[in-house]
Amino acid sequence: MPPLADRMRPRTLEDYVGQEHLVGPGAILRQSIESGRLPSMILWGPPGVGKTTLAGIIANRLDRPFHTLSAINSGVKDVRETIEKAKSQRFFSAPNPVLFIDEIHRFSKSQQDSLLGAVEKGIVTLIGATTENPSFEVIPALLSRCQVYVLKPLGKDELLALINKALAEDEVLKEKDIKLVEYEALLRFSGGDARKLFNALELVANLSESEKPLEITDELVTKVIQQNLALYDKQGEMHYDIISAFIKSIRGSDPQAAVYWLARMVEGGEDIEFIARRMIIAAAEDIGLANPNALLMATTCLQAIRTVGMPEARIILSEAAIYLATSPKSNSAYAAIKQAQDTVRKTGNLPVPLHLRNAPTKLMKELGYGKDYGYSHNYEGNFNPQEYLPEDLSDSRFYEPGKNAPEDRIRQWLRQRWKGKYGY
């Protein structure tokens, strides 16, 4: 028997609950669907608000072939095979097949690049679902070819409607003697997520016995849900929720929370190397030059747990997590490479200044390659203030030292050497 969330999944727009601003009468997406002129789109919203369901309804309503990929377990090869399959389904003036990609924000740049041609040529109509801001997670070339629709968390009335509908219409629940006395706890635990709401309702409903009625109260719901919160699905959504909470606790300098979420993962059987790898990323992205030793600590942690293994590896993970959480924070290195990449995408392949070019041949030397390059170690302080950027980017500043003691020293060091260049 499928879970309640799957049994209650709507099949038509008329049964779809929520997102009236998009699919209500006269709304923008509703008009596109009814006209049959469907753009490629990104559905951006929190978990459990109906992104996957809406994509399926759209394809069904327009009677289009529907292909689905999950960014968690699909690679470039899967994308290309699906696009080839979609090509074979196009006949004469038949509408484009719909390609739905769940969690598109988890696709790498190369995976997203592999979609571009098919979207551009109209081979498929792309519907991507994401819980992350697509401006940061979807490559600009793909994002520019898609409409972005923002889905909102479900409100109280919408969640109540789902509960009552499930109790009245679900093939299993309608046969049980269940009375909804209180609902605040169900709504609180769902957090606007229909999937969590149905999961909670099903957990409580499983207590029902045919010979006596079950009264759903806030006290009962709280007791049942708290007993099941420790369950950890390392292959499912909670896998990402908990690692997210762990990293955000480190970023937020809260060692208590970091160790708690670490314990949740360890108790749930999470891959300890996965945890360590994520700490390496956090050390570089969130601590960076405010404490460069954090990256050494995180890297050593990965090596150490490979040597020791569980259960002792949990102690090493704990030490590293506490160290990272209590380290000063700076994302200056992350911001610098992001800004530099954005500049490269906008400006393209600017020429390398002649004095910085390698000159391995006589002809290259005659052409001026490497001429006038000042070898830094021949200058006082091992520093020569020559131009190191392409001419069009002279004075461009990508690295901005963070506001912390180590990077304050870096800022002073740069200011003494560059004396006003780059704005220092």
Tokens of 420: 């006003």
For the segment 40-47, the average pLDDT, to the nearest whole number, is 89
- 26, 253, 334, 375 from 279: Cα distances, Å: 47, 13, 15, 38
State the pLDDT at residue 249. Answer: 94
394 vs 238: which has the higher pLDDT = 394
Residue 295: how many other CB atoms lie within 10 Å: 20
The domain locations on the chain are 18-150, 156-228, 252-325, 352-423
158 vs 188: which has the higher pLDDT = 158
Longest dimension (CA), the chain: 97
Position 89 pLDDT exceeds 70: no
State the pLDDT at residue 259. Answer: 95
Q: Residue 295 — very low, low, confident or very high, per pLDDT cuts 50/70/90?
A: very high
Q: Which residue has the tokens 């069904």?
A: 60
Question: What's the whole-model pTM score?
Answer: 0.54
Fold classified for 252-325: Zinc Finger, Delta Prime; domain 3 (1.20.272)
For the segment 342-357, the average pLDDT, to the nearest whole number, is 89
Is the Cα torsion angle 260, 261, 263, 267 positive or negative in sign? Answer: positive
Q: 1.10.8.60, 1.20.140.90, 3.40.50.920, 3.40.50.620: which CATH number matches 156-228?
A: 1.10.8.60
Is CATH 3.40.630.30 correct for 18-150?
no
The β-bridge relationship of strands 125-130 and 98-102 is parallel
For residue range 296-314, what is the model confidence (pLDDT) as tens digits?
Answer: 999 999 999 989 888 899 9
Shortest CA distance to 243 belongs to which of 290, 205, 208, 281? 281
Task: Write out 292-338 in H/E/C secondary structure.
Answer: CHHHHHHHHHHHHHHHHCCCCHHHHHHHHHHHHHCCCCCCHHHHHHH
